[in-house]
């Protein structure tokens, strides 16, 4: 049974986040900076998460996909796009109203979540 499937209600996101290793919990929190129902290129998540490589970002995305946090799709041109779960985004935004996005969608000056730069 996955961590996510064993959680329900308004605390599900928090329980899920607390079950993650620190690096994945940090990446999970950064999802709160994304607009709801808008696909995001994996390259954007790689920069937002400060992943060392595309492979590291893809591994994080895969872990989140296996847990229902986001969905991924590979387009004909080979790019990978991610769509975060509306439920997870909503839970993150309720718990983290202090999320501040600086720069152009985290591509420029970087992201700041809870006072920490990505």
Residues 55 and 39: beta-carbon distance below 8 Å: no
Of 87, 7, 78, 2, residue with least CA distance to 43: 78
Residue 117, token pair as written in the block = 């730069």
The confidence score (pLDDT) of residue 100 equals: 46
Q: What is the pLDDT along the chain (118 residues), one digit of tens a residue?
A: 333 333 444 445 566 788 899 999 999 999 988 988 999 999 999 999 999 999 999 999 999 999 999 999 999 999 999 999 999 998 888 887 766 444 334 444 345 454 444 4
Range of the domain at 104: 4-117
CATH number of the domain enclosing 52: 1.10.10.10
User: For the chain, how many structural domains are there in total?
Assistant: 1
């Amino acid at each position: 049974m996955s961590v996510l499937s064993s959680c329900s209600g308004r605390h599900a996101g928090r329980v899920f986040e607390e079950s993650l290793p620190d690096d994945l919990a940090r990446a999970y929190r950064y999802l709160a900076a994304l607009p709801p129902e808008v696909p995001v290129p994996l390259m954007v998540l790689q920069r937002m998460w400060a992943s060392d490589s595309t492979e590291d970002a893809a591994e994080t995305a895969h872990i989140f996909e296996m847990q229902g946090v986001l969905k991924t799709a590979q387009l004909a041109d080979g790019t990978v796009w991610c769509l975060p779960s509306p439920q997870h985004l909503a839970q993150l935004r309720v718990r983290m109203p202090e999320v501040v996005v600086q720069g152009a969608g985290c591509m420029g000056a970087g992201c700041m979540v809870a006072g920490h730069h990505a």
